[in-house]
Chain A
Amino acid sequence: MLQIEIRIKGHINPQWSEWFGGLTIRHSDPDETLIAGLVPDQAALYGIISHLRDLGLKLTSVSSEEVQENFYEHNR
Chain B
Amino acid sequence: MTLVSASAGYGKTTLVTEWLAATIPSFIQGKESGDEVRRSRVRATWLSLDKADNDPARFLAYLIAALGQVDTRIGERTRALLQSPGPLPPEVVLTTLINEIAVVHAPFILVLDDYHVIQALPIHQQLDFLVEHQPPQMHLVIITREDPPLPLARLRARGQMVEIRQDDLRFSPAECADFLQRVMDLDLTQGDIIALERRTEGWIAGLQLAAVSMKGRADLSNFVEAFTGSSHYILDYLIEEVFERQPVEAQDFLLKTSILDRMCGPLCDAVLNRTGSRDLLYRLEHANLFIIALDQTRTWYRYHRLFAELLRQRLQASDTLSEDELHRLASGWFATQGFIPEAIQHALAASDWNRAAALISDNSVPMLRSGELMTLLGWLKALPNEVIFTRPELCQNYGWALTLTGQLDAADIYLQQAENIAGDDERLLGPILVARAYHLRVGGDISLAIDYAWRALSILPQADALSRGLAALTLGLAYWNKGDFQESERAFLEVDRAAQQSGNHYARMTALTYLGNIQAVFGHLHRAAELCHQVIQSGGPSAPVAPAHIELAALFYEWNQLHSAIQEVQIGIEQSQHTGNPLILLDGYRTLAIIQQGRGEAKEALSTLKKADQLVESHQVSPLGRFRIAACHVQVALAQEDLTTAQLWAEQVSEPTDISLFDPCLGLTPVRILLARQDKTKAAERLNELYDTACQKGCGAGMVEVRLLQSLAADTPENALHFLQDALKMAQPEGFLRTFVDKGKPMEALLERLRSQGGELKEYVQAILAAFGGTGRSAPQGMLVEPLSERELEVLRLLAQGLSNREIAQRLVVTVGTVKSHVHTIIDKLGVSSRTQAVARARELALL
Q: Which residues of B contact A15 (CB under 8 A)?
A: 313, 317
Given contacts A54-B145, A54-B305, contact A12 B233 (CB under 8 A): yes
How many Å lie between the Cα of A33 and that of B9 in the bound state?
21
Q: How far is the CB of B557 from chain A (nearest CB, A)?
A: 52
Most chain B CB atoms below 10 A, which of A18, A31, A56 = A56
> Do the beta carbons of A11 and B306 come within 8 Å of each other?
no
> Do the beta carbons of B236 and A13 come within 8 Å of each other?
yes
> Do the beta carbons of A53 and B145 come within 8 Å of each other?
yes
> Do the beta carbons of A56 and B231 come within 8 Å of each other?
no
> Do the beta carbons of A53 and B231 come within 8 Å of each other?
no
Q: Which residues of A contact B233 (CB under 8 A)?
A: 10-13, 33, 57
Q: Report if A67 contacts B (CB, 8 A).
A: no
Q: Report if B203 contacts A (CB, 8 A).
A: yes
Q: Which residues of B contact A11 (CB under 8 A)?
A: 231-233, 236
Given contacts A53-B7, A54-B145, contact A13 B309 (CB under 8 A): no
How many Å lie between the Cα of A53 and that of B145 in the bound state?
7
Q: How far is the CB of B306 from chain A (nearest CB, A)?
A: 6
Given contacts A11-B233, A12-B233, A13-B236, contact A56 B205 (CB under 8 A): yes
> Do the beta carbons of B232 and A56 come within 8 Å of each other?
no
How many Å lie between the Cα of A10 and that of B236 in the bound state?
10
> Do the beta carbons of A56 and B313 come within 8 Å of each other?
no
> Do the beta carbons of B316 and A54 come within 8 Å of each other?
no
Which residues 27-76 in A have Cβ within 8 Å of B in the complex? Answer: 30-31, 33, 50, 53-57
Q: Which residues of B contact A12 (CB under 8 A)?
A: 232-233, 236
> Do the beta carbons of A13 and B232 come within 8 Å of each other?
yes
Which residues 1-36 in A have Cβ within 8 Å of B in the complex? Answer: 10-13, 15-16, 18-19, 30-31, 33
> Do the beta carbons of A55 and B317 come within 8 Å of each other?
no
How many Å lie between the Cα of A50 and that of B9 in the bound state?
15
> Do the beta carbons of B232 and A54 come within 8 Å of each other?
no
Q: How far is the CB of B164 from chain A (nearest CB, A)?
A: 17
**Closest residue to A31 on the B side, CB-wise?**
B231
> Do the beta carbons of A56 and B316 come within 8 Å of each other?
no
Q: Which residues of A contact B203 (CB under 8 A)?
A: 56
Q: Report if B235 contacts A (CB, 8 A).
A: yes
How many Å lie between the Cα of A56 and that of B235 in the bound state?
9
Q: Mark B456-499, 1 if CB is under 8 A from A, else 0.
A: 00000000000000000000000000000000000000000000
Q: Mark B203-235, 1 if CB is under 8 A from A, else 0.
A: 101000000000000000000000000011111
How many Å lie between the Cα of A31 and that of B313 in the bound state?
22
Q: Which residues of A contact B116 (CB under 8 A)?
A: 50, 53
Q: How far is the CB of B81 from chain A (nearest CB, A)?
A: 34
**Closest residue to A51 on the B side, CB-wise?**
B309
Query: Size class of B's contact patch?
Result: 20 to 34
> Do the beta carbons of B317 and A18 come within 8 Å of each other?
yes
Q: Which residues of A contact B18 (CB under 8 A)?
A: none
> Do the beta carbons of A55 and B231 come within 8 Å of each other?
no
**Closest residue to A32 on the B side, CB-wise?**
B231
> Do the beta carbons of A55 and B232 come within 8 Å of each other?
no
How many Å lie between the Cα of A25 and that of B736 in the bound state?
81
How many Å lie between the Cα of A57 and that of B7 in the bound state?
8
Q: How far is the CB of A31 from chain B (nearest CB, A)?
A: 5
Given contacts A11-B231, A18-B316, A18-B317, contact A56 B306 (CB under 8 A): yes
**Closest residue to A18 on the B side, CB-wise?**
B316
Q: Which residues of B contact A33 (CB under 8 A)?
A: 233
Q: How far is the CB of A33 from chain B (nearest CB, A)?
A: 8
Q: Which residues of A contact B530 (CB under 8 A)?
A: none
> Do the beta carbons of B313 and A16 come within 8 Å of each other?
yes
How many Å lie between the Cα of A57 and that of B8 in the bound state?
9
Q: Which residues of A contact B8 (CB under 8 A)?
A: 53-56
**Closest residue to A47 on the B side, CB-wise?**
B119
> Do the beta carbons of B313 and A19 come within 8 Å of each other?
yes
How many Å lie between the Cα of A56 and that of B209 in the bound state?
14
> Do the beta carbons of A30 and B317 come within 8 Å of each other?
no
Q: How far is the CB of A10 from chain B (nearest CB, A)?
A: 4
Q: Report if B146 contacts A (CB, 8 A).
A: yes
Q: Which residues of A contact B305 (CB under 8 A)?
A: 54
Q: How far is the CB of A20 from chain B (nearest CB, A)?
A: 10
> Do the beta carbons of B231 and A54 come within 8 Å of each other?
no
**Closest residue to B240 on the A side, CB-wise?**
A13
How many Å lie between the Cα of A63 and that of B320 in the bound state?
37
Given contacts A10-B231, A15-B313, contact A55 B145 (CB under 8 A): no
Q: Which residues of B contact A56 (CB under 8 A)?
A: 7-9, 203, 205, 235, 306
How many Å lie between the Cα of A50 and that of B7 in the bound state?
11
> Do the beta carbons of B306 and A54 come within 8 Å of each other?
yes
Q: Which residues of B contact A16 (CB under 8 A)?
A: 313
Given contacts A10-B234, A18-B317, contact A53 B306 (CB under 8 A): no
> Do the beta carbons of A55 and B234 come within 8 Å of each other?
no
**Closest residue to B146 on the A side, CB-wise?**
A53
How many Å lie between the Cα of A13 and that of B230 in the bound state?
13
Q: Which residues of B contact A13 (CB under 8 A)?
A: 232-233, 236
Q: How far is the CB of B450 from chain A (nearest CB, A)?
A: 42
> Do the beta carbons of A10 and B232 come within 8 Å of each other?
yes
Q: Which residues of A contact B146 (CB under 8 A)?
A: 50, 53
Report the 4 A-B pairs with minimum CB-CB distance, sorted nearest first: A56-B8, A12-B233, A10-B233, A13-B236
23 contacts between A and B (CB under 8 A): A10-B231, A10-B232, A11-B231, A11-B236, A12-B233, A12-B236, A13-B232, A15-B313, A15-B317, A16-B313, A18-B317, A19-B316, A30-B231, A31-B231, A50-B146, A53-B146, A54-B305, A55-B8, A55-B235, A55-B306, A55-B309, A56-B9, A56-B203
Chain A positions within 8 Å of B, measured between CB atoms, are 10-13, 15-16, 18-19, 30-31, 33, 50, 53-57
Chain B positions within 8 Å of A, measured between CB atoms, are 7-9, 116, 145-146, 203, 205, 231-236, 305-306, 309-310, 313, 316-317
- Additional A-B contacts beyond A11-B231, A56-B235 (20; CB < 8 A): A10-B232, A10-B233, A11-B232, A12-B232, A13-B232, A15-B317, A16-B313, A18-B317, A19-B313, A19-B316, A33-B233, A53-B146, A54-B305, A55-B8, A55-B309, A56-B7, A56-B9, A56-B203, A56-B205, A57-B233
